Chains A and B, each alone.
Chain A
């Protein structure tokens, strides 16, 4: 997909010029709007840049350059068809290739879901390019996992061997019903956004990363990315970048009472949390409000 073939209802809310870059061997889609210090908005599983459609105007109007990449495997970016093409380190390298290729400096990273481990992987290994962090419904440590991620029903069943390719591949269960269940205003989501997330994952093979990412969440010390998460937690605990925490009050994936508390331990200087209406995909319910919090934060710290 290039963007031109998106449904009309999606293009109305996503009028931005598509740009493509070679990153670490893959073709990555991103948008690049406005002028000023860069704010990079990072999505997770199974969304794409569309999640941040309500952030572009407030941030560019406030004098920031907004860059929204689609993770390789999602959105309008290239979608590898082999599971072994995906790794946490590889996705950090993909993002690093884009941001270094654009020679971005004084970067503010806005991280959600897997945009957290990947974005923080870049931030903590390119600290001289960084200016600030905004973290939403994400994590950056090996253990313990979210209670939600330990449950057989529905989480582990959803991505288990063969069940993942069947439920999330053949039936696109995460990008359609899964996101729908993880917003507060489901009717508005169905009308304005659901088509955007379904359209960019049209075939079973294109949905590979939707069941691959869940398998990278550490549940015990045997996890493939365990050591990378150990490193993320260690480095984050020494990070002094200005930081802002924003969370959905109704988030039942990354429970704010647990995850915000842990982030406040690692980043005791962080502002927030600003609690907004929202489950895991809080941008869908409170996009303009979150964007206003970010603009206010950046005006004070950058």
Chain B
């Protein structure tokens, strides 16, 4: 299960950009999930949020503000990786799927992991096949 974790030590690490969302509030419940998960009404732009996936990898969630729009308007996901080393794209892809699954579980309501997994399988997303065999 992906979980929220404190900021890890960043000594010898870099933040590797892996995914961006320019319109987090397209469906408002998505934006509100992150506001709740990271107490963003209080924390604002002062620091990223961090999550750890079942693989043990840690990701920084960097929230984006945009004039005239509710905060956060956007979100970047960065892998916390050794500073000078290339990252494993397959592992990152699987981790992202886990983060998205955690997000959908947290949003709830009409948004279900069953629909997400079915969509992944429909489009033959490799991580959605893995998800049948491992915990999120």
**Are B120 and A167 closer than 8 Å at their CB atoms?**
yes
**Are B116 and A163 closer than 8 Å at their CB atoms?**
yes
Task: Give the CA-CA distance A101 to B112 in the complex, in Å.
Answer: 48
The residues in A between 139 and 192 inclusive whose CB is less than 8 angstroms from any CB of B are: 152-154, 156-158, 160-167, 169-171, 173, 177-178, 181
B120 contacts across to A, CB distance below 8 A? 167
Contact of A173 among B20, B110, B123 (CB under 8 A): B123
**Are B19 and A161 closer than 8 Å at their CB atoms?**
no
- Does B111 count as interface, using CB distance less than 8 angstroms? yes
- Does B80 count as interface, using CB distance less than 8 angstroms? no
Q: A162-B103, A171-B125 are in contact. Are A152 and B22 (CB under 8 A)?
A: no
- Does A106 count as interface, using CB distance less than 8 angstroms? no
- Does B3 count as interface, using CB distance less than 8 angstroms? no
- Does B100 count as interface, using CB distance less than 8 angstroms? yes
- Does A300 count as interface, using CB distance less than 8 angstroms? no
Task: Give the CA-CA distance A177 to B118 in the complex, in Å.
Answer: 14
**Are B123 and A178 closer than 8 Å at their CB atoms?**
yes
- From B20, B23, B118, B123, name the one whose CB has the most chain A CB atoms within 10 angstroms: B123
Closest to A163 in B: B100
**Are B116 and A161 closer than 8 Å at their CB atoms?**
no
B124 contacts across to A, CB distance below 8 A? 177
Contact of A160 among B96, B111, B125 (CB under 8 A): B111
Q: How far is the CB of B103 from chain A (nearest CB, A)?
A: 7
The residues in B between 66 and 81 inclusive whose CB is less than 8 angstroms from any CB of A are: 75, 77
Q: How far is the CB of A215 from chain B (nearest CB, A)?
A: 5
Q: A171-B123, A178-B123 are in contact. Are A161 and B24 (CB under 8 A)?
A: yes
Task: Give the CA-CA distance A171 to B128 in the complex, in Å.
Answer: 12
**Are B125 and A157 closer than 8 Å at their CB atoms?**
no
Q: How far is the CB of A79 from chain B (nearest CB, A)?
A: 14
A161 contacts across to B, CB distance below 8 A? 21, 23-27, 30-31, 75
**Are B27 and A154 closer than 8 Å at their CB atoms?**
no
Q: How far is the CB of B118 from chain A (nearest CB, A)?
A: 5
Task: Give the CA-CA distance A164 to B25 in the complex, in Å.
Answer: 13
Closest to A204 in B: B19
- Does A299 count as interface, using CB distance less than 8 angstroms? no
The residues in B between 104 and 136 inclusive whose CB is less than 8 angstroms from any CB of A are: 110-112, 115-116, 118-120, 122-125
**Are A166 and B96 closer than 8 Å at their CB atoms?**
yes
Q: How far is the CB of B106 from chain A (nearest CB, A)?
A: 12
Task: Give the CA-CA distance A153 to B118 in the complex, in Å.
Answer: 7
**Are A83 and B23 closer than 8 Å at their CB atoms?**
yes
Ordered by A's residue number, 29 sampled pairs between the chains whose C-beta atoms are within 8 Å are: A83-B22, A83-B23, A152-B110, A152-B111, A152-B115, A154-B115, A154-B119, A156-B27, A157-B116, A157-B119, A158-B123, A160-B27, A161-B24, A161-B27, A162-B77, A162-B100, A162-B103, A165-B19, A165-B21, A166-B19, A166-B96, A166-B97, A167-B119, A167-B123, A171-B125, A173-B125, A177-B123, A215-B23, A215-B26
Q: Which residues of A are at the interface with B, using a C-beta cutoff of 8 A?
A: 82-84, 152-154, 156-158, 160-167, 169-171, 173, 177-178, 181, 215
